[in-house]
């Protein structure tokens, strides 16, 4: 099982989404983030990815964990992962495009879920309402279909 992270910048009534330009999830809007390296803390890895992918600098103390999501694919066990999702409402610098991502600010009431991973519509509205979420998704091998899902709100992450 891999551990990955996913971050979203939030300001006023907007969220920063980024078009993935290459690799896993290319062509989809998502947050920034990626793999946690061996021996690296999840939070530190997200701060590193934020700088690499969208050019902003943030402090770990400003991360707000909003979700923990377990993803599996029918017969691709090497794609199995746990994603730790964070919101950032404070950072330094302006988001910029990189080789990996092209960021765009989107109004919170106009999130284009049809251009995102198919699971996002099941958990993202909950975290945008201020809830904390734990979820499990089993996808078809190409990620085009959710075979099984469980989305639960929890009081907090300890």
User: Is the pLDDT reported for residue 52 higher than 80?
Assistant: yes
Q: For residues 84 and 32, give the distance between their C-alpha atoms in angstroms, rounded to a whole number.
A: 12
Per-residue model confidence as pLDDT tens digits over 76-122: 888 899 999 999 999 999 999 999 899 999 999 999 999 999 999 99
Q: For residues 114 and 35, is the Cβ–Cβ distance under 8 A?
A: no
Task: Name which of 9-18, 70-79, 119-128 the model is least confident about.
Answer: 70-79
Helices (H), 13-105: 42-54
Q: Which residues 6+ apart lie within 8 Å of 77 measured at CB?
A: none
Q: For residues 45 and 22, give the distance between their C-alpha atoms in angstroms, rounded to a whole number.
A: 20
Percent of the chain surpassing pLDDT 90: 82
CATH superfamily of 2-154: Nucleoside Triphosphate Pyrophosphohydrolase (3.90.79.10)
Looking up tokens 């793999």, which residue turns up? 35
Per-residue model confidence as pLDDT tens digits over 109-152: 999 999 999 999 999 999 999 999 999 999 998 888 999 999 99
Give the number of other CB atoms < 10 A from CB of residue 52.
14
**Helix, strand, coil percent values for the chain (each to nearest 5):** 20, 45, 35
DSSP 106: E
Q: Which residues 6+ apart lie within 8 Å of 158 measured at CB?
A: none
pLDDT band for position 1 (cuts 50, 70, 90)? low
Can you give the pLDDT at residue 100? 87
Q: Across all residues in the chain, what is the average pLDDT? A: 94
Q: For residues 114 and 118, give the distance between their C-alpha atoms in angstroms, rounded to a whole number.
A: 7
Task: Name which of 10-14, 44-48, 63-67, 143-147 the model is least confident about.
Answer: 143-147
Can you give the pLDDT at residue 20? 87
- Give residue limits of the domains in the chain: 2-154
- Rg for the chain, CA atoms, rounded: 15
């Amino acid at each position: 099982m891999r551990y990955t992270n996913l971050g979203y910048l939030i300001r006023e009534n907007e969220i920063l989404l980024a078009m993935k330009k290459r690799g896993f999830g290319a062509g989809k809007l998502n947050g920034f983030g990626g793999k946690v390296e061996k021996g690296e803390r999840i939070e530190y890895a997200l701060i590193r990815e934020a700088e690499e992918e969208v050019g902003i600098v943030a402090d770990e103390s400003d991360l707000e964990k909003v979700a923990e999501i377990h993803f599996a694919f029918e017969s691709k066990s090497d794609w199995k992962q746990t994603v730790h999702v964070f919101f950032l409402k404070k950072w330094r610098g302006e988001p910029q495009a990189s080789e990996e991502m092209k960021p765009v600010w989107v109004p919170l009431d106009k999130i284009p879920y049809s251009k995102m991973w198919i699971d996002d519509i099941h958990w993202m509205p909950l975290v945008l309402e201020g809830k904390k979420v734990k979820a499990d998704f089993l996808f078809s091998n190409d990620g085009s279909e959710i075979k099984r899902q469980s989305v639960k709100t929890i009081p907090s992450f300890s």
